[in-house]
Amino acid sequence: MPMRFDVITLFPELFTPFLSVGITRKAFETGMVEVHVHNPRDFAPGNYRRVDDRPFGGGPGMVMLAQPLADCLQAIRAQRDAQGLVPAPVVLFSPLGQALNHAQVQTWSSSAGAVLICGRYEGLDQRFIDAHVDVQISLGDFVLSGGEIAAIALLDAVARLQPGVLNDAHSHEQDSFNPSLDGLLDCPHYTRPEVWADQPVPEVLLSGHHERIEHWRRQQRLRITAQRRPDLIEAARLAGRLTRADEQWLAQGAQVAP
């Protein structure tokens, strides 16, 4: 199934370097993840191509006009129809949205894509949101100057899950939050030299004993997750993903250092 993301942004140049550098560029260059960037200013009337105005009721800042956004969205839908794609959900990056997580990224990574709207200023005219937006997504409890960084974050997360993008096909399976790790945080990682700044690599990682190594990694994942994200431990417990050995380790305090 073809995957196409259309991005509506007043700053399309922000996406140019992202799409052409780093390991995820493979997904974009090969067309596994097709990305098209659109500027609503191109759909605004008049010599000044105005896309914003003062808010009714007063207050600071400006609000993005509904009509240029609607016209831009209509043009995108026509392009997608011509390409034979299924109708795409319209996503707005907003503090009002649900926080983006790994499960959502996995869903988007196997979808036909979406239309991503990057708001600016004080936001969008609510009438456009009511009429056209299907999903609102947030990166967390903070505010950005616009939705571009959030859109890039989603595109990057989706791209790295595509087959062949990462050098090791199983690499993303060891990421934090991945179901293959039962939704836990990842364990610590080490490389050469064996001793750095008087700190040695944990002996078990030098043993060559794969079963012991995996046992150690499991315990470290549990330890770190319990310390930093106890909510993920509880979620794994409720889903039946923790073994009796896991529970015993947690009951002991899981305080063993790496």
Residue 258 among the catalytic residues: no
For position 257, what pLDDT does the model report?
56
For position 145, what pLDDT does the model report?
95
Catalytic residue among 17, 87, 95, 179: 95
Instruction: Return the residue matching tokens 């790790």.
Output: 181
What pTM was estimated for this model as a whole?
A: 0.90
Residue 175 among the catalytic residues: yes
Residue 148 among the catalytic residues: no
For position 188, what pLDDT does the model report?
93
Q: How far is CA 112 from CA 139, 158, 221, in A?
A: 22, 12, 34
Residue 182 among the catalytic residues: no
Determine how many CB atoms are found less than 10 A away from the CB of residue 205: 18
Structural domains in the chain, CATH included, are 4-159 (3.40.1280.10), 175-251 (1.10.1270.20)
For position 166, what pLDDT does the model report?
77
Catalytic residue among 34, 71, 156, 175: 175
For position 210, what pLDDT does the model report?
97
For position 2, what pLDDT does the model report?
80
First to last CA, the chain: 43
3-state secondary structure 7-71: EECCCHHHHHHHHHCCCCHHHHHCCCCEEEEECHHHHCCCCCCCCEECCCCCCCCCEECHHHHHH
Report residues of the chain scoring pLDDT below 50: none
Catalytic residue among 160, 217, 218, 221: 160
For position 10, what pLDDT does the model report?
98
For position 151, what pLDDT does the model report?
98
Catalytic residue among 122, 156, 241, 258: 122
**Residue 207 neighbours by CB under 8 Å, 6+ apart:** 213
Query: How far is residue 93's CA from residue 147's CA, in Å, rounded to a whole number?
Result: 5
For position 171, what pLDDT does the model report?
57
Calculate helix-pair angle for 230-238, 210-228, nearest 10 degrees: 110
In the numeric block, which tokens belong to residue 123? 């936001």
For position 170, what pLDDT does the model report?
52
